[in-house]
Amino acid sequence: MQRLYDFLRRHPTGVDCFWAVVLFGMALVGGTTNQEATGGRLPVPFLAVSLVLCLVIALRRRMPEKMLVLAVVAGVAQLFLDLPPMPADFGMLVILYTVAATGARWASRFGLVGGLCAGLLAQLRWPAEGEGPVNSVAVAVFQTVPFALAWVLGDSLRTRRAYFAQLEERAARLEKEREAQAKVAVAAERARIARELHDVVAHNVSVMVVQADGAAYVLDAAPDQAKKALETISSTGRQALAEMRRLLGVLRTGEHQEGGEYVPQPDVEQLDELIEQCRSSGLPVDYRIEGTPRPLPSGVELTAYRIVQEALTNTRKHGGPDAGASVRLVYFDDGLGLLVEDDGKGAPHELYEEGGVDGQGHGLIGMRERVGMVGGTLDAGPRPGGGFRISALLPLKPAH
């Protein structure tokens, strides 16, 4: 059944031709029956007008305006040739519906005027015997109703299609704007990440230079210190190499450091200062560290700091006046876990679904970009009991 339906939808003209043949057969049967009752034969004008009206149905989708004109010509010929209403006149209703739904505006208006006049003209041309003026008017109105109804149905379909097309266009435009905003936010955040990672690498290289100078100075006098300095250089160099590899693929154009100097980037040890700032601003924060603290790669520490910073900022923005937050920093053997929760109102879903809309939600886009740069995972969304939760796992990959 579905295949048959799909086939019919792919061949609308074939369907119209089928119904045109059916209508022509009905016209022949009806005309033959009437002529047998009167003892005559089917007149050629009857066959010609019926054939033209059936042709109108067959080609109504391909040439609706031309078929409307052809139907009007057939109707005028029917009046002049004194051919009473016939089954093929149904084609006039069909073409009126078609031009109202899909035809040009002038054709729709022209068809409406012709349809409203058809009933009156038919009543004037073939009046019923023995009826008064009131009955004649009533019959004319009754004959006009099908034409008006056909036009109204077609015009309603046109309006509905236009409405859905407008909705689809608007949805497509909003989707493009949303994607463009997300791309802009990602590009801006990547540029900032590139700048910060560049600073981290520059700091590590500076440490290597200082250690190398110290090792060269004490190489003969204190070999043990020189060996320790060389080990520090090796470790720092591997860490810098890992940061540079994470930096690949991030474009940085037109970026300049302010004042021409590199500024040290924040790490997890500065979370105490950040949380104290939040508490002083009126946001209660419960901060706990689980596991054994130890030195982490600079990129991981910077990512952890920025995630906590953005999460607490979102709590102040969207949590409400009485919101409180908790921060958990968990040291695992192979990674660093972060859990930031609040008991406020929670952020709107646009801020954590699809990256945000209308210029909002860029903070969470930045979080995902940062976590992705270090190969971690991030989960952000509303809590079951109310509020908002952000959890992240940052793996501690060894530098090679």
HSE at residue 175, side-chain half, CA atoms within 13 A, is: 6
pLDDT at 366: 75
| Assigned token pair, 376 | 């971690």
Please state, in angstroms and rounded to a whole number, the distance separating the CA atoms of residues 68 and 95.
Answer: 6
Name the residue with tokens 């949805």.
171
- Name the CA dihedral angle for 103, 104, 106, 109, rounded to a multiple of 10 degrees: 40
Please name the residues in contact with 233: beta carbons below 8 A apart, sequence gap of 6 or more.
208, 211, 212, 215
Query: Which pLDDT tens digit goes with each residue over 308-362?
Result: 988 888 887 777 778 889 999 999 988 999 999 998 776 555 455 544 433 344 5
Are 339 and 330 within 8 A, CB to CB?
Answer: yes
Burial of 99 (0-12, 13-18, 19+ CB in 10 A): buried
Query: In terms of Cα–Cα distance, which of 47, 57, 50 is closest to 19?
Result: 57
Other C-beta atoms lying within 10 Å of the C-beta of residue 380: 21
| Assigned token pair, 33 | 């029956």
Q: Assign 197 a pLDDT band (cuts: 50, 70, 90).
A: low
Q: Which domains does the chain have, with CATH numbers?
A: 2-126 (no CATH), 178-260 (1.20.5), 268-395 (3.30.565.10)
Minimum mean pLDDT range among 60-74, 186-200, 211-225: 186-200
What's the mean pLDDT when you consider all of the chain?
80
pLDDT at 400 over 50: no
pLDDT at 233 over 50: yes
pLDDT at 213 over 50: yes
Q: Assign 196 a pLDDT band (cuts: 50, 70, 90).
A: low
pLDDT at 37: 61
Query: Which pLDDT tens digit goes with each residue over 120-157?
Result: 888 888 877 666 677 778 888 888 899 999 999 999 99
Query: In terms of Cα–Cα distance, which of 161, 136, 147, 165 is closest to 68?
Result: 147
Please indicate whether residue 163 or residue 251 has the higher confidence score (pLDDT).
163
| Assigned token pair, 9 | 């939808």
Per this entry, what is the length of the chain? 400
Sign of the Cα torsion 377, 380, 384, 387 reads positive
Are 268 and 328 within 8 A, CB to CB?
Answer: no
pLDDT at 194 over 80: no
Please state, in angstroms and rounded to a whole number, the distance separating the CA atoms of residues 183 and 181.
Answer: 5
Please state, in angstroms and rounded to a whole number, the distance separating the CA atoms of residues 18 and 342.
Answer: 68
Query: Which pLDDT tens digit goes with each residue over 104-128?
Result: 999 999 999 998 898 888 888 887 7
Indicate whether this model's pTM tops 0.85. no
Query: In terms of Cα–Cα distance, which of 392, 318, 308 is closest to 356?
Result: 318
Average pLDDT over every residue of 45-64: 90
Other C-beta atoms lying within 10 Å of the C-beta of residue 121: 16
Query: Which pLDDT tens digit goes with each residue over 244-285?
Result: 665 555 544 444 444 444 445 678 888 998 888 888 777 899
3-state class of 156 per DSSP? helix
pLDDT at 298: 80
Are 111 and 100 within 8 A, CB to CB?
Answer: yes
pLDDT at 358: 36
Sign of the Cα torsion 213, 215, 220, 225 reads positive
Please state, in angstroms and rounded to a whole number, the distance separating the CA atoms of residues 129 and 143.
Answer: 17
pLDDT at 10: 82
Strands 388-395 vs 335-342: parallel, antiparallel or unpaired? antiparallel
pLDDT at 318: 78
Are 79 and 41 within 8 A, CB to CB?
Answer: no
pLDDT at 255: 46
